[in-house]
Structure formats: structure tokens, C-alpha cells
Amino acid sequence: MTTTPDDPTTALPGRPPIVDLATWQAARDELLVREKAHTREGDAIAAARRRLPMVEFDGTVKVVGPGGPVPFLDLFQGRDELVVYKHMWYDGAPHQGQCEGCTNAAWHLRDAVYLNARGVSFAIVTTGRWDEVASYVDFMGYTQPWYSVRDVAEPVGGDMGHTTCYLRDGDRTFLTYSTTGRGNEPFNGTFALLDVTPYGRGETWEDKPEGRPGGRHACWYWRTDADGNPAWGPTSRPVPQWTRPGAGPVETLGRQGPHH
């Protein structure tokens, strides 16, 4: 059924009010004042972040990559700065059973050319066994460097789901910053774009205008079934996996319940 703008029986639920361009521009300009203040506060927080102290650690600790064990220092690829995403892992799970949240993050960090141009390297680490990790990376078509940090202590290993920054000074290595949870959102372009759409992320926690649909649970669209319907059941996959060669319908998630 095609909706018509003036027919209340077919209009989108809770849609924004219709006004003339001048009225819209006035409202837009009013919001812009708040957006500019938000940007300036973000700049101030980034400035404070650059003033954080750092922690030295042993950069010779071994991690496992395609060529076998290598010192963590190798992840810098000769550069002085390094950003690492720590990808959660479920031992023995099939590809569709791996963490949908970390899949989301890794998919948005597939290319580091602009980081490299600024002299910053990027890598993904995880606690999985390398043979499982290598198979997963090949299936997903990832080109960024991946390493296993199984049984490696913080700040190289430890808890996953973090975005972590390191500095190298010669052969000395330092932890400078780390974030997790919603702190990872600034690195996700999909969130930023959804936040400027009229219906947002479509999640229950969002503050919505009266009449707007209530939304669904957080991250509800991160897994879909073979028909593209959002689903978190045993026949679902993290969304990007459906574009991978050989990704057919599945019969088991490989682990119990959603993780987000």
C-alpha cells in the first residue's frame, strides 16, 4: 500500500510534523547551536584524552599471526602509534555463532588506509585459537591484520570488546587509552547515520516523539535469517556474513543465546 502525506490512515506512525521550509530552517538552526556545542565538548574531551598518562608493558610478548608467533611490537608495522580492536571469541563455534557485536565493529574497521597515512597502524586481536581465527578471517574476507592473544595478559590480551591505543618509543611500548561498550560507537559509521534519520536506531531506549513506534531491543538488526529478516534464533547470522561466498542457511547458532 502506498502512503499519502495527507491521509492520516496511511501515514507513517509518529512521523515528523509537516511545515514550510522557513519553519524547518528555523528549527534546524536552533538544533545546530546544540550540535556545535556538542562538537566543541567532544574536542575538549579529545584534548583531555591526549593528556592521559600511560602504562609501560613488555612489547616482546608473543602473539600468533599468519606466520606464527611474533612479538606484539610487530603490530606497529614500524609506526609509532597503534589502534587495536579486541574481538570476542567463542571457542569451537561455527562462523555464524561468533559475536555479532564484534562482527559489527570489525566490519566498520575494515580499511586502515587513512590511519596509515597519518602514521597509525591498526590490528584486530582475539582470544581464539589461531586455526579457528584464520578460518573465520578467510570466510569474512577481512584484510586487516588479525592475531590470537590466547593466554596473553593485559594490556595486550585480557578482556575483549575493547578499542585500545598504544604508543611505541623505540622498543618500549605503552598503553595509552582503552574503551568498551558504547564507547566504541564513535568508530561505527552506521550508528552515526542512523542517529540523524527521523526514526533513529529503532531501539526501545531511545527518547522518541509521541506516537513514534516503541522500537525493539538494542542491536536487534545485527543478526538476520536467510530472508533478511532480523532474527536472533538458531538459523540467524551476523548481517555481513550473508554476503560472504558460501554463506547458506544455517541450522545451529553454535552457542546459547544472544550476546550484545
Q: What is the CATH number of the domain that holds 174?
A: 3.40.30.10
Q: What is the mean pLDDT of residues 167-179?
A: 98
Would 140 be classed as within a structural domain? yes
Residue 6 pLDDT: 59
When mean pLDDT is compared across 2-11, 20-29, 137-146, 236-245, the lowest value belongs to 2-11
Average pLDDT, the chain: 93
* pLDDT for residue 10 is more than 90: no
The verdict on pTM exceeding 0.95 is no
Q: Is residue 135 part of a domain?
A: yes
In a domain, 64, yes or no: yes
For residue 251, the model assigns a pLDDT of: 73
C-beta separation of 57 from 168 below 8 A: no
- 113: in domain: yes
> What confidence category does residue 4 fall into, taking pLDDT thresholds of 50, 70 and 90?
low
Alpha carbon distance, N-terminus to C-terminus of the chain: 35
Confidence of residue 9 (pLDDT cuts 50, 70, 90): low
* Between 213 and 59, the higher pLDDT residue: 59
Query: Which amino acid is it at 243?
Result: T
Q: Which stretch of 47-51, 116-120, 143-147, 208-212 has the lowest confidence by average pLDDT?
A: 208-212
102 inside domain: yes
Q: Which long-range contacts (CB under 8 A, 24 or more apart) does 187-194 make?
A: 187/105, 187/108, 187/109, 187/163, 188/104, 188/105, 188/108, 189/108, 190/104, 190/108
C-alpha cell at 252: 545451529
Average pLDDT of 74-102?
96
Determine, yes or no, domain membership for 42.
no
Cell output for 59: 612489547
Position 7 confidence tier, pLDDT thresholds 50, 70, 90? low
Domain count, the chain: 1
Averaged pLDDT for residues 173-193 = 96
Q: Is 83 contained in some domain?
A: yes
Domain residues for the domain of 111 are 55-185
Cβ-based neighbours of 19, under 8 Å, separated by 6 or more: 27
Q: Is residue 63 assigned to a domain? A: yes
Average pLDDT over residues 60-78: 98
